[in-house]
A and B are shown apart, each in its own frame.
Chain A
């Protein structure tokens, strides 16, 4: 197959020849047989990798399944996703992670790399059998109790130490539980006015500071999920300046949206479409997160794609579920927040959304530079069109997007997984 006329990382137009699932050749006016895809001058990126996806299967197939979640991922330009462990049953055994991994292989819209729970049942009391999950067919390397914080300092220390044996990483959901009891939104001006219990920035920052020190002490690898505050950025910058093995992610929504949407938005006040954990923060936090992603203090963009059925969002604020979907809008939001603002070029986008997450997750077949010999995992992206986000067109089973009705730039034209198209002309293959 030949993909004609694409601009690799936004550079000069070139053709890409694909053979046996690998990139065979890159250059101008390539010859070869087989199908031809006309790129029409759009940007070619390495297939995107998400470190933080909730596929909801097993347990909440009404919200998302491995099939619909990976279809959503492919439409967003992803060729691999890390499936979070907070399913029902929890992915805390080799059996559950292998089940999720097999479902991903069966549907083949994108690779599914299961994340294992750190503690049994996400209960924060006893370590799950991390080694068994690492040794399973799923080959788990990322462990997380995401949705809950591993708040016990001793347990966190042990987890960080233990996974060194198989090059694992603990991905921490940083949320001091006592400081966030009943928390509903960012603690600040808006929460005070709206009478909603605050989720203070310090509850995230205190855990990140502690975990950075623990990771340094035991010489292990720490990844911080969904960083949301300016203070967290400062702590990470300080920790990284010591050369400690720490990485961090930011979600697209924390790069674009702020907590005043809870008070005033086209969707009305107190609309739970904006309810998410960690919560939307302030403009100052958004600015700090963008700067941190630009200078590498934050390593990756991860979606925290969190599908919920309509009835779990069409309620009063305090009763609503936390989370928003993000796979199909991630690249557009990153373009809006980072590229069109001049903070990142497309090569840096490829790093933050493909190379770095693949490196952290130890996915050797993903995130490789687009060059001959690399697996043909590709995303073709047209940054030109600006369109209104239409949730009814999503492949995801859920519709809880905060961007409905917003105009965002760009469109994923095609996605290739090991040379096979999963999306062409913006549609699932």
Chain B
């Protein structure tokens, strides 16, 4: 494996399977009453969050703590960053503190690549702009595998704002590596113009794709997209691309529903669908901690400080 985890595209099939298999073992630990492992004792993991994301930050924090790492949370608000400190100076500060891994969430696509030039520790991308969110894709693949078994040949449909979605980019790359067949469904305005070069199928019509899907993953639609004329209204989006009960009924009986959260209930997904037994939405959160443990373990565990 690489020293960093910045793009899901950097993972070979063997790398990805190693992470998923490691997570499987670590999941057994999570079922014990004492959840902590001593693996990363004495190692320092910095959570560097330039965007608010309580969900992702606490997931990484829990993962690092269960491996006995020291965790430093560095959020942009109220820190020197909000006083105009550059990403480079922040990186040099973390470097001076001896961070073994930096988990970075940043609003600018490519910020983790830049950070990796300036620190010696491992860089883990926890979401950069509209680029990627590789640990989300890993936890999604992990959740799918737990429900459906091996992903080879499985049909995964990803629905929503692909253009601005780092979750979609990472999922397309990782699922392709793992042998799944991905179909993206969105209004044409919310797909990149170059989407035909991606390793996946594309459709504008959700209804024709549903019956052939093993997994339907709904993406969050930001309400501000409506004002930028990506679609006429919330209701129209919901009618054409929302997963309501009628559409849910068209899915095969064993197909599952996923959502990376946070959800807009009633917009891209109906409440009854989100809460159904075939929804993995809550599992995804739990699996997030497990997969992030596996990533930190594999990036940091092999060497001593």
Q: Do A and B come from one complex?
A: yes
Chain A interfacial positions (CB closer than 8 Å to B)? 184, 187-189, 191-198, 200, 268-271, 311, 314-319
Q: For residue B229, give the distance in angstroms from its CB to the closest CB of chain A.
A: 10
Q: Which residues of A contact B86 (CB under 8 A)?
A: 311, 314-315
Q: Is the CB of A188 within 8 A of B129?
A: no
In the complex, B88 has a CB within 8 A of chain A: yes
Considering only residues 160-203 of chain B, those with a C-beta below 8 Å from chain A are 166, 169, 192-195, 197-198
24 pairs of residues in contact across A and B, judged by CB atoms under 8 Å = A187-B193, A188-B194, A191-B194, A192-B192, A192-B197, A193-B169, A193-B194, A193-B198, A196-B129, A198-B192, A200-B193, A268-B113, A269-B110, A269-B113, A270-B109, A270-B110, A314-B88, A315-B87, A315-B114, A316-B106, A316-B111, A317-B110, A318-B109, A319-B108
In the bound complex, how far is the Cα of B110 from the Cα of A191, in angstroms?
11
In the complex, B131 has a CB within 8 A of chain A: yes
Q: Is the CB of B108 within 8 A of A316?
A: yes
Q: Is the CB of B111 within 8 A of A194?
A: no
Q: Which residues of A contact B117 (CB under 8 A)?
A: 268
Bitwise interface map of B from 44 to 86 toward A, beta carbon under 8 Å scored 1, else 0: 0000000000000000000000000000000000000000001
In the complex, B130 has a CB within 8 A of chain A: yes
Q: For residue A267, give the distance in angstroms from its CB to the closest CB of chain B.
A: 9
In the bound complex, how far is the Cα of B109 from the Cα of A191, in angstroms?
10
In the bound complex, how far is the Cα of B130 from the Cα of A270, in angstroms?
13
In the complex, B132 has a CB within 8 A of chain A: yes
Interface of A is mostly: loop
Considering only residues 99-126 of chain B, those with a C-beta below 8 Å from chain A are 106-111, 113-114, 116-117
User: What is the size, in residues, of chain B's interface with A at 8 Å between Cβ atoms?
Assistant: 26
- Given known A270-B114, A314-B86, A318-B108, contact A195–B169 (CB-CB < 8 A): yes
Q: Which residues of B contact A316 (CB under 8 A)?
A: 87, 106, 108, 110-111, 114
- Given known A188-B194, A315-B87, contact A195–B113 (CB-CB < 8 A): no
Q: For residue A275, give the distance in angstroms from its CB to the closest CB of chain B.
A: 11
Q: Which residues of A contact B128 (CB under 8 A)?
A: 195
Q: For residue B279, give the distance in angstroms from its CB to the closest CB of chain A.
A: 27
Which of B108, B129, B132, B195 sits near A192, CB closer than 8 Å?
B195
> B162 — nearest CB in chain A belongs to which residue?
A192
Considering only residues 113-164 of chain B, those with a C-beta below 8 Å from chain A are 113-114, 116-117, 128-132
Q: Is the CB of B197 within 8 A of A194?
A: no
Q: Is the CB of A192 within 8 A of B194?
A: yes
Which of B108, B116, B169, B194 sits near A189, CB closer than 8 Å?
B194
Which of B110, B193, B197 sits near A196, CB closer than 8 Å?
B110
Q: Is the CB of B109 within 8 A of A194?
A: yes
Q: Which residues of B contact A200 (CB under 8 A)?
A: 193
Q: Is the CB of B87 within 8 A of A189?
A: no
Q: Is the CB of B129 within 8 A of A195?
A: yes
In the bound complex, how far is the Cα of B194 from the Cα of A150, in angstroms?
29
> A272 — nearest CB in chain B belongs to which residue?
B114
Q: For residue A202, give the distance in angstroms from its CB to the closest CB of chain B.
A: 10
Which of B107, B111, B192, B198 sits near A191, CB closer than 8 Å?
B192
Q: Which residues of B contact A198 (CB under 8 A)?
A: 192-193
Q: Is the CB of B132 within 8 A of A195?
A: yes
Q: Which residues of B contact A317 (CB under 8 A)?
A: 108-111, 114
Bitwise interface map of B from 260 to 286 toward A, beta carbon under 8 Å scored 1, else 0: 000000000000000000000000000
Q: For residue B194, give the distance in angstroms from its CB to the closest CB of chain A.
A: 4
Q: Which residues of B contact A268 (CB under 8 A)?
A: 113-114, 116-117
> B173 — nearest CB in chain A belongs to which residue?
A193
Q: For residue A269, give the distance in angstroms from its CB to the closest CB of chain B.
A: 4
User: A-B pairs with the 10 shortest C-beta distances?
Assistant: A270-B110, A195-B131, A192-B192, A195-B130, A192-B194, A316-B108, A318-B108, A195-B109, A316-B111, A189-B194
In the bound complex, how far is the Cα of B88 from the Cα of A311, in angstroms?
9
Q: Which residues of B contact A195 (CB under 8 A)?
A: 109, 128-132, 166, 169
Q: Is the CB of B109 within 8 A of A192?
A: no
Which of A188, A194, A270 sits near B193, CB closer than 8 Å?
A188
Given contacts A196-B110, A200-B193, A319-B87, 11 further A-B contacts (CB under 8 A): A187-B193, A192-B195, A195-B130, A198-B193, A268-B113, A268-B117, A270-B111, A270-B114, A315-B114, A316-B110, A317-B114
- Given known A195-B169, A270-B113, contact A315–B193 (CB-CB < 8 A): no
Q: Which residues of B contact A314 (CB under 8 A)?
A: 86, 88
- Given known A196-B109, A270-B114, contact A318–B88 (CB-CB < 8 A): no
Pick from A184, A270, A318 the residue with the most CB of B within 10 Å.
Answer: A270
> A318 — nearest CB in chain B belongs to which residue?
B108
> B111 — nearest CB in chain A belongs to which residue?
A316
In the bound complex, how far is the Cα of B116 from the Cα of A167, in angstroms?
53
In the bound complex, how far is the Cα of B111 from the Cα of A127, in angstroms?
40
> A314 — nearest CB in chain B belongs to which residue?
B88
